[in-house]
A and B are shown apart, each in its own frame.
Chain A
């Protein structure tokens, strides 16, 4: 077994296991921590796919940013840190059935398609390539994205403003 396959199977086990823990654990705090592990596992998958820059962005923005925001939201809404914050699920059997059918459909479609297993050659330094492409071919979406993020963050501040 090659190193890449070994890394892929280990990361897949971590990713699927922690994803299951996110949706199944009763304690919401634990769910957020499992989500952090799942996002870190995804960063590892990105590394396997030679996307070092995306792995770094994933760790900084997702595992660093989102997890912090979610923990803040839990602290604000539950008010009681350290106490057991239980969250229940409902209709687990129906949800599991729908999810399993959906997974089976997607996987069977993936297996049928004529998909390559050979990686096409790419530039050695993908980070430089991504930067070049963002600021040349995709410069308009990039600027629109900046506008979207500004609007989104202003909206978030507006929603979460102190009561007056």
Chain B
């Protein structure tokens, strides 16, 4: 399988995650979509690294995985805090900053 096959797969998964982010109404559902998008970027990094023979991409993937885990922990903590304050996790009702 060539590099293009891996990049195409990553693009498809990215767009599925993007679809989830813009259509989900539950904030946890939005976070799941973001996880999918970040995940597909990791596929891109590893594929480029493997086909170009440069280890840097894989090292970057280690970094992005760590950052993603931190982001998920923080995001979910914010969701729990929002639920505690507003008693809802639906994104439509979280319009505090709406002008």
Interface residues of A, Cβ cutoff 8 Å to B = 4-5, 8, 12, 15-16, 19-20, 22-23, 28, 31-32, 35, 38-39, 42, 45-46, 48-51, 53-54, 57-58, 61-62, 65-66, 69-70, 72-74, 76-77, 87-92, 95-96, 98-100, 102-103, 106-107, 110-111, 115-123, 126, 129-130, 133-134, 138, 141-142, 145, 148-149, 152-153, 155-157, 159-160, 163
- Do A107 and B58 contact each other (CB < 8 Å), given the known contacts A62-B65, A70-B28, A89-B24? no
Minimum C-beta distance from A163 to chain B (A): 7
CB pair A51 B50 closer than 8 Å: yes
Minimum C-beta distance from A92 to chain B (A): 6
- Select A89's contact among B25, B35, B51, B74, beta carbons within 8 Å: B25
Among A49, A65, A74, residue most surrounded by chain B Cβ atoms (within 10 Å): A49
For residue B61, which residue of chain A has the nearest CB? Answer: A54
CB pair A70 B26 closer than 8 Å: no
Q: Report B12-53 CB contacts with A as 1/0, cut-off 8 Å.
A: 111111111011111011011101100100110011011111
CB pair A99 B47 closer than 8 Å: no
